[in-house]
Amino acid sequence: MKSRRRPTPPHKPIGRVASHFTREGTPKNSYRTEAEAQSAAQFAWTMNGVDLNSYRCDYCFQWHIGKRFRDD
């Protein structure tokens, strides 16, 4: 008899690896140095007015950029 269970849909990785993907599921850009990441964040501000910061990834030890958290 054939199983009637539905196949599980593909899902985003969980845990630390998930930090390498955006909300849309695309891979985040990595930068080798903090200066490169800060330059990319500044470029995003100049072009789109998006306030981003750079941070060192605990998983790959490279640099990423992301939205700033605000203390409201």
Once rounded to an integer, what is the mean pLDDT over residues 46-70? 86
What is the spatial distance between Cα 42 and Cα 71, in angstroms, rounded to a whole number? 21
Query: Mean pLDDT for the chain?
Result: 78
- Structural domain contains residue 34: yes
> In the chain, how many domains are there?
1
User: Structural domain of residue 22, as residue ranges?
Assistant: 15-67
- Structural domain contains residue 56: yes
- Structural domain contains residue 52: yes
For the chain, helix, strand, coil in percent to 5 are 30, 20, 55
What is the spatial distance between Cα 20 and Cα 55, in angstroms, rounded to a whole number? 12
- Structural domain contains residue 61: yes
What is the spatial distance between Cα 55 and Cα 62, in angstroms, rounded to a whole number? 9
Task: Write the CB contacts of 68 (distance below 8 Å, at least 6 apart in sequence).
Answer: 51, 52, 53
Per-residue model confidence as pLDDT tens digits over 18-42: 667 777 888 889 999 999 999 999 9
- Structural domain contains residue 41: yes
